[in-house]
Structure 1
């Protein structure tokens, strides 16, 4: 800890800087960069920056951090009303920063553990769950996707943003992909099959090294108007996408841009699509497609094992969180009291 009244100089804001770059070969530096996913690195950087900024203002040394510094920081975060999950992520970034710089991890200190346990017991709340997006609302959302762009200076054209949204909604629902997986999907990951398409997911939240690529199916739909395979082919053919990212931004001039959607943009597109139906999009996100698949499949009689085959959940118990609210009324004596 620094002396009172003497603010510490800000520590490096990039905790993944393991060693001095001049000591690495070009190949070594490339492997260091590949050691963590881009999302993880962004999260660590943001969390580490928050911690070092607080330390600078409070006059503490962030690296190595004194246990009292860490408990003060946690108390500060709890006082601001941050969620326990967010605070836990900040601790993970601090742990990682200390590990890669070969200094003692302050998060294992008894004082820190005691304060952290007290915060968890006091402030833990049930995690907010995305509202499932599934039929019949999903059908309304699909029907509300625009189909034609009209201009004053040129002939009407197919609305590429509408075609993309329709394909993204259908594929996202049927495949139960996470938003990061939808954004990362490339044309090379699609393989034709007599029963539809097979998607190869090189990396995922539970398969970050890509040692065992995961397969997800996209079956032909019973109703041609709601077929995810047809919707995807229509988007790709109309936008003339022959390689690279599958889902892309569309310009104001109705042209696909040569880059992939950002994962956060997938959230925005889902909410906007729901709002077009006149439904309040609060509570909905890209995860609503995954939650909607699990819930709808369960209500239609699919087994947990069959659902997990598509969602790639490693624990069948995790699936229960998606369907608990919708099945709470099933065979429940509270509905038979005659009150």
Structure 2
């Protein structure tokens, strides 16, 4: 099925919610069931984060290709179709890796099928979930690394100091990278959130206490006011780093307004032209994408000798530095500093009682003498 893609970088309603599938064949939808209008599909699409929509599109395309090749109807899918697809994913080597899908990939693929069927009867996932549960248990029993979800390594303040020490902050791109690293950590920002920051979102706090941010978190559609005070270390102080970056932009003739984190090449050119097939691409104002923010973290880790170079084969358990490393580093650092878990999670935009945040805290508290029950019991 050919998906529609908004050439301006967004996601069309048809690409996210399967308008083509809704209207492609009479067999795809029960004849008596009214179809959603284009306006309704577009309104629904606006409620899906862009990164989630991209992942679902890829998952749906793979499912649809498999279903058609195996003589199953992709939409609306049945419970039996989902179960067969989950089984196929656990048995079939992927061309890129030569191994079957990982449990997390299968889980997301099943979610993508349910998502694509918006407005249609939902197939029962019970059989597919049982297949997935048994597959994951078998991998874990066999100590297969693919049975574990690889999480981003934590860019704690100690790690940030290593990254920034290996960064030439006297250059414009180095000043930007230091500001992005420290600001992302201080706000516990996802890459998509840091990419949306504008200079107007940061203002000086009263009595020069630091900076006040208005941060939009698309994943939870929340505007969050956050205070960022001066740091204890000059090299990782988010307030100083942002002001240094701002001054560097001024010295390069760029007035800091609009997008905060800009595309800059190694020659110090701001918003250099980018083309694909003779067509200009990239944000016209030079705003970095979420992928661009994540690349800053990965490159900084390589400069500091913390990460392998591109193309290197990583052993199981090797550090994984991604855009999420800053957010995880924030969570672990607040545990080590014994900050109130509720306030720490709220600052980072986690829901109260978030299992993800609790997991980061549990990891950081593994050798906390006050929390680990093995300390002080006479062992």
TM-score, normalized by length of structure 2? Answer: 0.72
Asked if residue 219 in structure 1 is aligned to residue 229 in structure 2, the reply is yes
Contact 2:259-2:286 within 8 A present in 1 as well: yes
Give the superposition deviation at 1:185.
1.4
Partner of 1:5: none
- 2:59 paired with 1:59: no
Give 1:182 deviation, angstroms: 1.0
Match of 1:247 in 2: 261
Q: Is the 8 A contact 2:155 2:329 kept in 1?
A: yes
Partner of 1:176: 188
Any idea what SS the aligned residue of 2:17 has?
coil
Q: Which runs of 5+ in 2 are unaligned?
A: 5-14, 24-35, 94-99, 141-146, 272-284, 309-318
In structure 2, the CA distance between the partners of 1:173 and 1:68, relative to structure 1 (3 Å rule), is same
CA RMSD, aligned part only?
3.1
CA–CA distance in structure 2, aligned partners of residues 64 and 261 of structure 1: 38
Give the CA deviation at 1:241: 4.4
Structure 1 residue 129 corresponds to structure 2 residue 151: yes
Per the alignment, residue 291 of structure 1 pairs with 328
Find the partner of 2:117 among 77, 98, 103.
Answer: 98
Distance 2:181 2:74 in 1: 44
- Aligned partner of 1:152 in structure 2 is none
SS at match of 1:217: strand
Matched length: 312
Is 1:320 aligned with 2:320? no
3-state SS in 1 of match to 2:118: helix
The residue number in structure 2 matching 1:199 is 213
Q: 1:112 & 1:234 partners in 2: Cα distance?
A: 53
Corresponding residue SS for 2:157: coil
Find the aligned partners of 1:16 and 1:184 in 2 and give their Cα distance. 25
Matches within 5 A, 1:1-339: 10=1, 14-18=15-19, 31-79=43-91, 80=93, 81-100=100-119, 102=120, 104-106=121-123, 108=124, 111-123=127-139, 125-148=147-170, 159-194=171-206, 195-205=209-219, 207-208=220-221, 210=222, 213-239=223-249, 240-257=254-271, 258-280=285-307, 282-316=319-353, 318=355, 319-331=357-369
Q: Is the 8 A contact 2:84 2:128 kept in 1?
A: no
> Is residue 160–residue 256 contact of structure 1 (8 Å, CA) maintained in 2?
no
Measured in 1, the distance between the counterparts of 2:339 and 2:245 equals 30
Distance (whole Å) between structure 2 residues aligned to residue 312 and residue 117 of structure 1: 30
TM-score for the superposition, normalised by structure 1: 0.80
The Cα shift of 1:66 comes to 3.7
8 Å CA contact retained: 1:84, 1:123 = no
Deviation at 1:126, TM superposition (A): 4.3
Residues 237-285 of structure 1: per-residue CA shift (max 9 Å, x gap): 3222432221122124312213222222222211211221223353222
Show CA shifts across 1:93-128 (max 9, x none): 21122233x3x322x165445434434544574432
SS at match of 2:228: strand
Mean Cα deviation higher: 174-183 or 252-261: 252-261
**CA offset at residue 74 of structure 1?**
0.8
Q: Structure 1 residues 241, 132: CA separation in 2 closer, same or farther (over 3 Å shift)? A: farther
Measured in 1, the distance between the counterparts of 2:202 and 2:166 equals 27
Q: CA deviation at 1:76?
A: 1.5
TM-superposed CA distance for 1:214, in Å, is 1.4
State whether residues 231 and 238 of structure 2, in contact with CA within 8 Å, keep that contact through their aligned partners in structure 1.
yes
Structure 2 CA distance for aligned equivalents of residues 300 and 191 of structure 1: 27
CA–CA distance in 1 between the matches of 2:233 and 2:307? 27
Q: 1:304 to 1:32 in 2, by over 3 A?
A: closer
Unaligned runs of 5+ in 1: 1-9, 149-158
CA–CA separation in structure 2 for the residues paired with 1:329 and 1:338: 16
Distance of 2:228 and 2:205 partners within structure 1: 9
